[in-house]
Structures are given as C-alpha cells and as structure tokens.
Amino acid sequence: MVSAGTGAPSTGSTTKRVSGSTTGSTTGSTTGSTTASRPKRPTEEHQERKWALPSSDAGHRARETTIRTEHLNRPERPEPTGGKLSTRSTRGALATLVAGALVLAGCSTASTTHRATVPKVTTTTTSQPATAGALCPLTGAPVPGGGNVPQRPALAVKIDNYPTARPQSGLGQADIVFEEPVEGRITRYVAVFQCQEAKSVGPIRSARNIDIGILGQLGKPILAHMGGIPPVLANIAASPILDLNLIDHGTLTHQAAGRVAPYATYSSTTALWGAFSSDTTPPAPLFSYSSSAPTGPDVTPVTQIAIPFSSSSNVVWRFDPSIDAFQRFYGTTPDLLSNGTQNTAANVVVQEVQITYGPWYENTLGGLEVQANLYTDASGPALVFRSGVEIPGTWSRSSLGQPTQYTSTTGQPITLQPGPTWVEIVPNTITVTATPPTKAPTNAPASTTTTVAHTPKAKKAK
C-alpha cells in the first residue's frame, strides 16, 4: 500500500484506492490499443521520437492491427510575421495517415482543420463593457485587478514535467492545470490560461492523444505544443481544437538562458493568443463553485494527499489553513516554480482512469502511447479536495464537447472553491492516500489503514 510522502502514513491516515472498479474507463479513441500487461517502460525520455506501430513479435502479434494508408492533402501553414517556417516542420511526416488507427472517437469525420493565422505578438485583448463583480469562467473567482473577463479563448500549453524540466514557468497564472500520465511513468501538464497572462511559459513539449479528451470540453481552445507523432497530430487536426504547433511557428518561441534542449523552449501567453487574435470567445465554465465547503456523511477533513505516479513524480498535496489552499510537494520537497513560488491550488481533483497502451510508439525505446477514454460515455471514481476536506464521488462524461461532471455519493453535483484547480488524471493502478488531521492520543485502540474502493455508477467507459 503506497502512503503519503516518502514514508508510511501517519497514525490515523485513510488510504483511498481510487481504483478497482469494473466499470472503469476503457480505450475507445483508437483502434489497436490494449489493456494487456504493462510494457517495459523506458528509463529516460528521449528527445528524438520515432513513430511506428508495435512490432509483430510474440508479445505484440496477438494485437497487431491491419492498416491501410491514405494520403492526406493538407494546405500550407501560414508564415508567421517576421520569419519563415521552421525547417523542423512536420508537414512531411503527416503526408501519410494511418486511417484505421486514427479515427478519433467523438469527433466528426467532416471536422475542420484549424490553423493559426498570421500572429501578431503585440496584440491587445478586446473586452466587453465592465461588469461589476465579473468572474473568471475557469476559476469562479473575480477577475484579477477587477474589470472585465478577457474576450479570448482558453489557451492550453503542453508543459514538461520530467525532472530535468523542473522548475517550470507560468503555472502560477494558469486557471486549470491537468496532470496527465505519459510513457515511462512520467507526467506532463496541460496548463490552461484564460483570465491571467504569463510572460514566460515552459518548457513547452509535444502533444499527446489524451490532450484531445482533456481539452474538448473547453469548446475550441488553442493548444500550443512542440509537435508530436503523426497520428496524434492528425487527430488534433480532426478535432475542434485550434492547433498551434510551435515547430512551425518558431518566431513565437524563445530559448531560455541556462536551459538545454529539449527543455529550453518557452513562449508567452501574449504571443500564443496573438496567433488566433480574431477569436474573442471565452470558454464556458467547466465547474460549479461555492464559497462554503460542502457537508455530509462522506465529507471528511484532510491534511495531505499522496499520488505516487512514480519515484520521480511522487506527488503530495498538503493543505495550508493559513491560505485555505493546497500546496504541492514531491515527497517532502516543495514543488517550486522558476520564480521561487510553490505550486498551489484551491482545488485538487483526482480523476481515476483506466489507461491502455498503443498502438503507437512515442520514442525509440519502445514507449507506447498512453491512452485513456475521457469522454465516450466514460465514468469512474473521483475524489475532490477543497477547503481542507475530501469529497468522494464519481466523474462522468458522455461526449467530447460535454464538461466532466463530478457527483457526490449522495448524487449531488460537487462544487469547487473559487480559485485555480489542478486535475490529477490518475491511472487506476495507483493508490491515492488521503491523511486526516492528527487527533490527540486516547486510550482507544490504534486505528488502522483502510482501503476503500469508490465504485462509480454503472456507465460505459475509454
């Protein structure tokens, strides 16, 4: 049983395994992915990626996919102001589309490919007439500094979380941060900005197929990334997401001093929004909010949450009553950003998913694409942490464009505290440990660690 931090849980801790449900998610977005035994994981994340279907050796022969290829005629990307397209353009790699494996569940086959317009880095944000007490759509909190909700779409940036990539920049200005599992038992961030700007965001890395499920609920968000393997890029192009592949828009990025590739590429939210300056539609809210913490028989106080993705990503959130928020650690080490501030969230949402692997390789060491169904009649257990309490329940979602619904064990929608939210997308093989406050010693028998399986409502799952 995995405990909080790096040691055993403190006396009185409650271990919640947000897993084990037979109605957990199964993959529905790609053909050929499997839930078979976990493949050998690479120990390092390589800069160079080689896309291929799994080999037909004994370990893969049973799930080998028969494919046919078709040519994808894509229009030329526009050339950004002040520079030519990068020589690292992926247009050539996308010339061949694996039709059998690239059908994206929930996306129309007649979808439109969205491309960045000629970006103008020095842009101004349009706004509606001032509204008293205007609230940011993705935090439920007042607009920083007062005034209006910025008239611009949600902007998602793929940020690396490999140990060498730390400390990151810009996460403190994000409205929502999704932490997703990728190959090699490491994680990456999808940092979503709307109400605030960040002068420096990064290091920016490549896209993954799971990003589509994460971002589809935001309408038509911008996704800024540094390329990806051909099938993933083709699926993004077929989705409602506004694709901003920075490999083709090098003038929007800069290489940070003191950083070494591939952990050196950064940008600013102003530059990235400028690539779609004509889009002035803010996203609809994803969550419901309330200023007071919910109550109920299953709502319990909590001081710490441990999510052991891996030895290099042993995530721990600790509640700080003085700021009414959770602060993030790796074990006992504070998770600091490049400006010295600690990653902090008003809400931590643990969303359990069933992951599968393949059918594509993400690197030369055999790391298969990590997939999870987040929207095709999907559901699973969830734990919501806010205001120093834990609220168990379930998550559910029926389509790509529908926001994820979080429901308590009593069947009520779970409301979040106004402020930034981190959504932890956790494989159902990982045990999440929640630690309650320490109680004064008594003569009662010592408490024991209890494993609780939160069973979701009967629904289909990815």
Model confidence at 146, pLDDT cuts 50, 70, 90, reads confident
Model confidence at 381, pLDDT cuts 50, 70, 90, reads very high
pLDDT value at residue 296: 87
pLDDT value at residue 395: 98
Distance CA 393, CA 406 (A): 7
Q: Among 184, 163, 186, which residue's Cα sits nearest to residue 38?
A: 184
The answer to whether residue 43 scores a pLDDT higher than 90 is no
Residue with tokens 């499997």: 34
Q: Amino acid letter at 332? A: T
Model confidence at 365, pLDDT cuts 50, 70, 90, reads confident
The whole-number average pLDDT for the span 52-68 is: 33
pTM surpassing 0.95? no
Output the CA–CA distances (angstroms, integers) from residue 180 to 58, 211, 386, 405, 420, in the order listed: 30, 8, 20, 18, 17
Residues paired with residue 135 on neighbouring β-strands, in sequence order: 142
Model confidence at 443, pLDDT cuts 50, 70, 90, reads low
The whole-number average pLDDT for the span 154-173 is: 97
Higher pLDDT, 190 or 37: 190
pLDDT value at residue 272: 98
Q: Considering the chain, what is the average pLDDT of its residues?
A: 77
Measure the CA dihedral 17/23/25/29, to 10°. Answer: 180
| 320-354 confidence digits (pLDDT tens) | 999 999 999 999 999 999 999 999 999 999 999 99
Higher pLDDT, 443 or 204: 204
| 118-139 confidence digits (pLDDT tens) | 344 333 333 444 445 799 999 9
Model confidence at 458, pLDDT cuts 50, 70, 90, reads very low
pLDDT value at residue 16: 59
Q: Among 398, 100, 363, 90, which residue's Cα sits nearest to residue 243?
A: 90
User: Are the beta carbons of 135 and 269 closer than 8 angstroms?
Assistant: no
Question: β-strands 304-310, 242-245: how paired?
Answer: unpaired
pLDDT value at residue 364: 83
Distance CA 57, CA 316 (A): 39
The answer to whether residue 7 scores a pLDDT higher than 70 is no
Model confidence at 303, pLDDT cuts 50, 70, 90, reads very high
- Residues 6+ away with beta carbon under 8 Å from 35: 26, 27, 354, 356
- 3-class SS shares of the chain: helix, strand, coil, % to 5: 10, 30, 60
Q: How many C-beta neighbours within 10 Å does residue 403 have?
A: 17
Which range, of 27-36, 152-161, 230-239, averages the lowest pLDDT?
27-36
The answer to whether residue 15 scores a pLDDT higher than 70 is no
